[in-house]
Structure 1
Amino acid sequence: MTARNEFYKQITGALAGAKFPINTPQELLAAFPNGADTTCQADGVKMTAGEAGKLLKPGDFPFKSAGQVANTILERAGL
């Protein structure tokens, strides 16, 4: 499994219980199980939700699904 696929799986899994749409960065961080400290790791690369949130822009919101969140973060991270 590629790092991108592993990160996608971890991000969408962490947001499995989230209520969508998510309209703000604060709502997104609150949706992760450990907030900004929620961590995903693959192939020696580690990223917290707080770090990932810095890659997002106001125009990215609202998010309508966990997959949309994951794809946006991974594209911005270059994965």
Structure 2
Amino acid sequence: MGVKEEIHTQIVGALAGAKFPLETPEALLSAFPDGAETTCKSGDFELKAGDAGKVLTASDFPFKSAQNVADVIVERAGL
């Protein structure tokens, strides 16, 4: 499994208990187990949930599923 797939899988797993839709960036961060400090790692690559705000825009919301969140973050993070 490559970095992109591994990070994607970790994001989906971290949001497994979230109640969708997530309407705001604050709701998204709150849905992660450790909030903004939730960290996904693959090899030397590390991505914190708080860093997602750098790649998301208001038009990305609402998110309807963990898969949707992971798709957007992984695509925009340039993995």
Please indicate the TM-score interval, normalised by the length of the shorter structure.
over 0.9
Higher mean C-alpha displacement, 45-54 vs 59-68:
45-54
- Number of the residue aligned with 1:57: 57
> Distance in 1 between the 2:10 and 2:53 partners?
15
Shift of 1:47: 0.8
- Number of the residue aligned with 1:22: 22
> Distance in 1 between the 2:7 and 2:53 partners?
14
When the two structures are aligned, how many residues end up with a matched partner?
A: 79
SS of the aligned residue for 2:22 comes to: coil
Shift of 1:43: 2.4
- Number of the residue aligned with 2:12: 12
> Distance in 2 between the 1:29 and 1:66 partners?
12
Question: Runs of at least 4 residues of structure 1 off by over 6 A?
Answer: none
SS of the aligned residue for 1:47 comes to: strand
Percent sequence identity is: 58
Q: TM-score, normalised by structure 2?
A: 0.97
Q: CA RMSD in A?
A: 0.6
